[in-house]
């Protein structure tokens, strides 16, 4: 029993009911709540018990419906049975996108069946090869000791975007995200390609949005313990946070199943990250179609929206971008809105697609998601109920280090009248003379000339953490428009900000 517990713990599995992955304590180290509960148990004895929780909601014992808030003590409970259930559930067939409640609750998966022993044996084979190859019991890509090695892994991984995977080009083709494509996106944003803006920097910063550790953490800290995500039951490990079943279940993604990389290896983790973004939609018998976000953006075109047709409802309400007139980056020129999303917005969607929101990304432009979607600083998932677009935040944050102050600002029409125009062509927008005088030329607040305002990625993600821990958010699209409109009509209020912008330059 001690050997089983040790294996599952080192694989990253938590024993605690309410704290999966990295959130959980080792079974003999479960922290007590003073005067209330102490659930620490021995490693070398079987312990039973399990109750799957959804968020912090558990079964009501009277109705059987999951509508009871779990207590802190309830969430702390743990058992070796819970570890067995978790590891079994992530290996079984079913919905490849998630570990299902019925899998976790299935009595069969709380037993050490022959199937279970086979899954453990396969995981041990990959894990043992990895720890023999990489001797450092802690791999942290933010430490100087591991940075140089990580840089080499990232370089090897980005080559997959350029060249595909040899012998598997029918699954991961060449040319998905080339240096030339990346450099073109930098040019759009007003940047140049160099050692601080290349694809390797993009991937490196993006990986750190997922996880900085490969192994070597835990409570207590345990050398070589896999770093598993703690927000859900997916069993996502290390840098890629790839769902465990996308690689190892009997309904794995086709590219991962055929290429067969070792997710317990830090190099293969980095390569798997890119493979998942670049794989196409083809399938093989018994395997799943898992087209990657970069393939959807740049090859198949599934993510690219034509703005004139971008009128699908958002959260069952009318939505469009008919008021979008252009975009700019930093102090660059305003570029009129193109017919379709350009490659900068497609990069945003490609990154967002790795996190989720595939339906939104396929149905709406990124500009439209900024217009109607909600930003939440501490979000951990997308929500159709609230409109929170966590994947949008994820994409912007992944780009932030590379693009810095050159994130995209969208330019929107605020109204059909009251805009400004260089009527006399002298390069200066200002009224010439006084109203009623001979030669008076009006260039300010013109009838029939639209006025515009700026609202983009930076404005959408603006927030401040207050001293008491509360969060003050910047304006939504609607609030920014309303405040700008008050400035336009000379009735601004204290605290209003003026987001007005030229419509073109």
| Tens-digit pLDDT profile for residues 195-213 | 999 999 999 999 999 999 9
Looking up tokens 């062509």 gives: 425
Looking up tokens 């929500």 gives: 383
> pLDDT per residue over 259-292, tens digit each?
999 999 999 999 999 999 999 999 998 899 999 9
Phi/psi at 493 (5° precision): -110, 165
Q: What pLDDT score was predicted for residue 250? A: 84
d(CA 181, CA 174): 13
For residues 361-387, give the mean pLDDT.
Answer: 97
Q: What pLDDT score was predicted for residue 253? A: 95
> pLDDT per residue over 161-179, tens digit each?
999 999 999 999 999 999 9
For residues 376-404, give the mean pLDDT.
Answer: 96
For residues 385-400, give the mean pLDDT.
Answer: 97
Report residue 402 as tokens.
Answer: 């590379």
Whether the pLDDT of residue 31 is over 70: the answer is yes
**Residue 449 banded pLDDT, cuts 50, 70, 90:** confident
> What torsion do the CA atoms of 206, 176, 262, 199 make, to the nearest 10 degrees?
-30
- The average confidence (pLDDT) of the chain is 92
Whether the pLDDT of residue 421 is over 80: the answer is no
Whether the pLDDT of residue 77 is over 60: the answer is yes
Whether the pLDDT of residue 64 is over 70: the answer is no
**Residue 18 banded pLDDT, cuts 50, 70, 90:** confident
Whether the pLDDT of residue 241 is over 80: the answer is yes
CB atoms within 10 A of CB 107: 8
Whether the pLDDT of residue 65 is over 70: the answer is no
Whether the pLDDT of residue 96 is over 60: the answer is no
CB burial string 6-36: b at 16+ within 10 A, e below: ebbbbbbbbbbbbbbbbebbbbeebeeeeee
Whether the pLDDT of residue 75 is over 90: the answer is no
For residues 338-363, give the mean pLDDT.
Answer: 97
| Length in residues, the chain | 505
Whether the pLDDT of residue 445 is over 80: the answer is no
**Residue 333 banded pLDDT, cuts 50, 70, 90:** very high
CA angle 237, 243, 244 (to 5 degrees): 70
Q: What pLDDT score was predicted for residue 355? A: 95
Question: Helix crossing, 343-355 with 266-278: angle to 10°?
Answer: 120
DSSP assignment string, 168-225: -TTTS-S-SS-HHHHHHHHHHTT---STTTSHHHHHHHHHHHH-SEEE--TBTT-TT-
Q: What is the largest CA-CA distance in the chain?
A: 98
For residues 229-251, give the mean pLDDT.
Answer: 93
For residues 354-381, give the mean pLDDT.
Answer: 97
Q: What pLDDT score was predicted for residue 417? A: 83
Whether the pLDDT of residue 97 is over 60: the answer is no
Quote the percentage of the chain above a pLDDT of 90. Answer: 78
Which pairs from 386-393 meet CB under 8 Å and 24+ separation?
Answer: 387/314, 387/315, 389/357, 389/360, 390/355, 390/356, 390/357, 391/352, 391/353, 391/355, 391/356, 391/357, 391/360, 391/361, 392/348, 392/352, 392/357, 392/366, 392/460, 393/461
pTM: 0.92
């Amino acid at each position: 029993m001690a050997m089983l517990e040790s294996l599952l713990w080192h694989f990253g599995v938590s024993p605690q009911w309410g704290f999966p992955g990295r959130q959980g304590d080792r079974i003999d180290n479960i922290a007590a709540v003073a005067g209330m509960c102490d659930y620490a148990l021995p490693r070398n004895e079987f312990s039973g018990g399990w109750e799957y929780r959804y968020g912090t909601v558990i079964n009501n014992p009277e109705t059987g419906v999951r509508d009871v808030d779990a207590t802190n003590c309830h969430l702390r409970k743990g058992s070796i049975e819970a570890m067995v259930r978790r590891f079994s559930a992530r290996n079984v067939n079913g919905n490849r996108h998630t570990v299902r409640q019925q899998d976790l609750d299935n009595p069969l998966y709380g037993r050490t069946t022959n199937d279970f022993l086979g899954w453990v044996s396969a995981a041990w084979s990959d894990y043992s090869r990895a720890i023999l190859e990489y001797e450092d019991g802690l791999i942290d890509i933010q430490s100087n000791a591991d940075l140089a090695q990580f840089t080499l892994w990232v370089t090897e991984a980005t080559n997959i975007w350029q060249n595909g995977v040899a012998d598997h080009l029918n699954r991961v083709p060449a040319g998905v995200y080339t240096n030339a494509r990346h450099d073109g996106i930098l040019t759009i944003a007003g940047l140049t390609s160099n050692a601080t803006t290349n694809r390797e920097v993009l991937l490196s910063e993006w990986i750190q949005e997922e996880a900085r550790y490969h192994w070597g953490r835990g409570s207590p800290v345990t050398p070589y313990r896999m770093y598993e995500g703690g927000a859900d039951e997916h069993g996502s490990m290390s840098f890629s946070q790839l769902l465990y079943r996308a690689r190892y279940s009997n309904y794995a993604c086709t590219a991962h199943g055929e290429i067969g990389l070792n997710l317990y290896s830090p190099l293969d983790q980095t390569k798997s990250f890119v493979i998942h973004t670049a794989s196409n939609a083809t399938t093989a018998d018994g395997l799943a179609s898992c087209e990657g976000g970069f393939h959807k953006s740049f090859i198949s075109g599934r993510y690219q929206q034509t703005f004139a047709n971008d009128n699908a409802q958002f959260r069952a309400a009318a939505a469009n971008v008919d008021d979008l007139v252009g975009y700019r980056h930093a102090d660059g020129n305003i570029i009129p809105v193109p017919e379709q999303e350009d490659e900068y917005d497609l990069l945003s969607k490609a990154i967002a697609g790795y996190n989720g929101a595939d339906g939104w990304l396929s149905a709406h432009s990124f500009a439209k998601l900024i217009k109607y979607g909600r930003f939440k600083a501490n979000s951990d998932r997308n929500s159709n109920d609230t409109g929170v677009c966590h994947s949008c935040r994820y994409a912007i944050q992944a780009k932030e280090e590379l693009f810095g102050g050159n994130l995209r600002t969208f330019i929107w029409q605020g109204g059909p009248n009251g805009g400004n125009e260089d009527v006399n062509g002298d390069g200066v927008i200002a009224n010439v003379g006084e109203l009623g005088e001979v030669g008076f030329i009006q260039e300010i607040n013109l009838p029939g000339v639209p006025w515009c305002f700026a609202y983009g990625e930076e404005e959408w993600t603006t927030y401040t953490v207050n001293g008491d821990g509360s969060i003050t958010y910047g304006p939504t699209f609607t609030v920014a428009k309303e405040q700008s409109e008050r400035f336009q009509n000379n009735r601004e209020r204290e605290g209003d900000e003026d987001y007005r912008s030229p419509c073109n330059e």
